[in-house]
Structures are given as C-alpha cells and as structure tokens.
Amino acid sequence: MPDEMARRLILERGDGGARHFEDAVPDPSSPVIGILGTGDFSRSLARRLVASGYQVVVGSRTPTRFVALFPEEAEVTTQLEAANKADLIFVAVYPEHHSTLMDLKQTLAGKTLVDVSNSLSINHKGPSNAELLADYFPGSFVVKGFNTVSAWTLQMGARDGGRQVFLCSNSQTAKNLVKSICHRMGFIPVDMGLLSSSLEIENLPLYLFPSWRLPVLCMLILFIFFYLYNFIRDVLYPFITEHKSAFYKMPIEVVNVTLPSVALVMLALVYLPGLLAAFLQLWSGTKYNRFPNWLDRWLLSRKQLGLCSFLCAVLHAVYSLCLPLRKSAQFKLSNMAYKQVKKGMEDSWVDEEVWRMELYLSVGIMALGLLSLLAVTSLPSVAGTINWREFSFIQSTLGYCALFMATAHTLFYGWNRAFVLARYHFYMPPTFVLVLVLPFVVLLGRAALCLPCVAGRLRKIRRGWERNRHIRFMLPAEDCRNGVENVSNV
C-alpha cells in the first residue's frame, strides 16, 4: 500500500507531459466512482482515485467551468449524468448545500453515498451531517468517511498526513465497498460501526487538544504562582529592604527557579491521583465503586501532566546550562575573585558546598534521564512495542524513582537553608520548602501502600474481593425456599 501512496499523481489536463501510469488505466471490474462538487476536495480525490485505477466521473452545476482543473482521465459532466453513471458517489459539497441535490433522489436510490463533510463547530447534540444526508436520501446507503483526510493529504499521499480513514454506515455492504476503495488508495479504513457514530467522526477534526486543556492550564497556573512567589522573594525583597535593583533576574534567574518548581509539583500530581484511588478503594473495601468524576478526569490526564512536567524539566536544564553565559554571572564571578585577592585569600574551596553541588547536579541529571524515558515510552508507537507489565514498570516504578530523584535534587539544592531564618523573606519560606510538600506526601503515601498488610489488602480488592459482600446460606425453617442455610456475615 505505501507504494501506491508514494506513486506520483496524475498530470493535469493540458500539461502536455507524457503520462506513465499503467495502473491509472481504469479497471473495468471496479466500480465507477462519482464525485459531486468540483472544489478542492473533489479535485484531490479525483486525482487520487484516477491514480488508483478507478474510472471517475465528476458532477458539477457548471461542468465546462472546472473541467480543466481535473485530470484528463476523469470525466466532468452534469450532476445528473454523474449520478447516473456512478455506482458509488462521494458527496464533496458543503452540508448546507446537501438539500440542493434533492433532484437526484431517484437517480441516487440504491447507490452508496459517501459523506465527506465537516461541520464548522463541534456538534454535541446531533443530528450529524451524514444522518441528515441519509434523511434526504432514504433510498441510498450513506457512509460517513474521509472527512478527517485533507485535500492536501489526498494529493500528497499518506506520507504527508494521517493514513487512517474512519468509516461508519448502517449498510455493511456499502461500508465494505468504501473500505476496499480506501485500501486501494493507500489508506487504512477504521470501522466505527453504525451511522450513529458519524457525529463523533465529524467532531474528530474539530477538537483542539481536548485532553491537554486541564494539564496545560494547571502548568500555567503553577508557573504564574511560583513566578510571582520567586519575584517577591528574590527581586522585590532586596529592592524594598536594601534598595538593591535585582530586576535583571526576571528573564532568566526567576524563570529558572520557577521551572523546576512547576516540574516537581506536576510530577507529584501525576502520581497523586493513583494514590487517592488506592486509598479510596481501601477505605470503601471494593474496587466496584465508581471514582468521583474529578478523580476520573485527573487519572486520565496523568500522561499529559507528566509530559508538561518533562517540558519544564528540560527547559530548566537548558536555562541552567545558559546561566554562566550571562553577563551578570561573569561580573559577579570577577567581583568575587577581586574581593578574594583584596582580602588576601588564596583558596575559596568550601568542602560542604562542593559536595552539595556535586550531589545536586548528579541526582538532577538522573531525574531528567528517567523523565526522558517516561516521556519516550508514553508515545503510542513506543508503548505499542512493550507489554503491559513492562509499561507499568516504566511508568510506575521508574516514575516513582524519577519523583524520588527530583525530590532529592531539590533537597540538595535547599541543603540546610530551610532552617536559616534569614531565608524567610517577608516570612515567606524558601520556594523549595513549598515545592517539597506535595512530593513528600506522594512518596510517603506510596511507602504506606508498600506495607505488607496494606499491599496485601489492596491486591485482594483489585482482584475482586469486597469487604461487604457476604455469602447467604438460609435455614429451611426461616424464609427459605431453596433449602439454603443463612450464614451471613461469615
């Protein structure tokens, strides 16, 4: 199939160039394909169909006007003639113009109509364009499909676009016919069932990162919060108390303290809902109670939260590498060296500081490495190559390792500064103290779940055991019909 898509498309009418498509010669056994409409989609589709060896007939309100835009192999004629000649018809006109095709009702009866239309906005209530088309043409078999494929993809081949074509119809025969056309054009048909799925298929191209909204919003809110917090502590505080201008810190230093804070809190937010779910199951003694909606949505957003955390961590690494390049850092360094010489100090080596920095950097690099692994394995193409146990080992066990390393990275950064009162500017604790709260809660929660008594009970619950489920045996004397003894609450 890829070879078919890689094939060069047919030349335009009047190109004068030689045509080299042996496959473009129509196969007499294959159905004649009609297209109603002569717009962008119709032109691209006609070319791809001709290149795939189909006989194509295009129906237009004004055939002579657009005939030059189609390949010579395609016949451009009136809508009625096209509907008459074709076995299967692609309706490549906007849905608001579907009703103008009503004159063709008799001619299209018993034929397959493929509705390729998209809506302008997401339609939650229905009916879909395809269902409306089916109402207009009750004698035809409507198939919804190809609306997620752009005219560009049709022209360029599947290498430059999505290869999947979502199809649905109430007629299995009509759907199978469209499936075979899909295959021959180099696309992969995805059967979405009955025509009632058409609303979902029509909404597919209109969604704007639906699963990313909450995680990105969360990341932005955290970023703004920590940025303002760091700004007050690191820029405003010296300005108010010592009249020292530290506003130069705003573009890089403040951002670089904010990014790891967001990254660590977001990473903790990836693992917190799993813990909440586990504790909820332990508390209710069953896995069959539904989680609250907010927890369900949170659990479903974990991948996106993790990827946002990874993005912040990568940006933090890049910002950190750029720190020595700044003029302010170079001036500070030369000033310190000058002061040292002036004081007659020869060696500025502080053992404790050296160790702190070595450990801080080492665990930071490890945390970033593990986060990269988690990010890579969250890609569907990679996740598809590993089994469920491998996936959960990477995402859960290595994920907790990444959280542990990132927490250690922050602890080494803070060292003993949490206990230095002078660090509490405006009575605000240093940022790392604030940031560490959630990861500590998550790591302690995880450790609690690892306790044998808790882990054993959770394992039982997850295998279907329920605390409140009692076996009832009824005594023949009391209220029993089947001679079953009542030994409830055993």
By CB under 6 A, residue 223 contacts ligand NAP: no
45 neighbors 92 (Cβ within 8 angstroms):
yes
x/- letters, 142..181, toward ligand NAP (CB under 6 A): -----x--xx------------------------------
- DSSP assignment of 383-409: HTTS-HHHHHIIIIIIHHHHHHHHHHH
Judged by CB under 6 A, which stretch of 19-27, 40-48, 278-286, 450-458 contacts ligand NAP?
A: 40-48
Single residue of 2, 20, 100, 322 touching ligand NAP by CB under 6 A: 100
Single residue of 12, 40, 72, 87 touching ligand NAP by CB under 6 A: 40
Spatial separation of the C-alpha atoms in residues 414 and 431, rounded to whole Å: 9
User: How many CA atoms does the CB half-sphere of 158 hold within 13 Å?
Assistant: 19
x/- letters, 49..88, toward ligand NAP (CB under 6 A): -----------xxx---x----------------------
Q: How far is residue 322 CA from its own chain's centroid?
A: 31
CA dist list (Å): 415 to 331, 418, 422, 433: 26, 7, 15, 11
User: Which of residues 166 and 271 has its CB atom nearest to ligand NAP in the complex?
Assistant: 166
148 neighbors 165 (Cβ within 8 angstroms):
yes
User: Which of residues 119 and 320 has its CB atom nearest to ligand NAP in the complex?
Assistant: 119
Smallest distance, ligand NAP to C-beta of residue 38, A? 3
User: Which of residues 41 and 413 has its CB atom nearest to ligand NAP in the complex?
Assistant: 41
Single residue of 31, 39, 238, 445 touching ligand NAP by CB under 6 A: 39
Cross-strand partners of 141 = 112
Judged by CB under 6 A, which stretch of 111-119, 251-259, 267-275, 335-343 contacts ligand NAP?
A: 111-119
User: Which of residues 119 and 171 has its CB atom nearest to ligand NAP in the complex?
Assistant: 119
**Sheet with 164-169, side-by-side order of all strands:** 75-78, 56-60, 33-36, 88-91, 112-115, 141-144, 164-169, 188-191
Single residue of 50, 93, 222, 461 touching ligand NAP by CB under 6 A: 93
User: Which of residues 61 and 85 has its CB atom nearest to ligand NAP in the complex?
Assistant: 61
- The burial class, CB within 10 Å (0-12 / 13-18 / 19+), for 190 is middle
Closest to 5 in 3D by CA, of 115, 119, 112, 162: 162
User: Which of residues 98 and 316 has its CB atom nearest to ligand NAP in the complex?
Assistant: 98
How many binding residues for ligand NAP (CB under 6 A)?
A: 22
**Residues 447-450: contacts with CB under 8 Å, at least 24 apart:** 449/275, 449/278
User: Which of residues 161 and 285 has its CB atom nearest to ligand NAP in the complex?
Assistant: 161
Sign of CA dihedral 437, 440, 446, 450: negative
Q: Which residues would be at the binding site for ligand NAP (CB under 6 A)?
A: 37-42, 60-62, 66, 92-95, 97, 100, 116-118, 147, 150-151
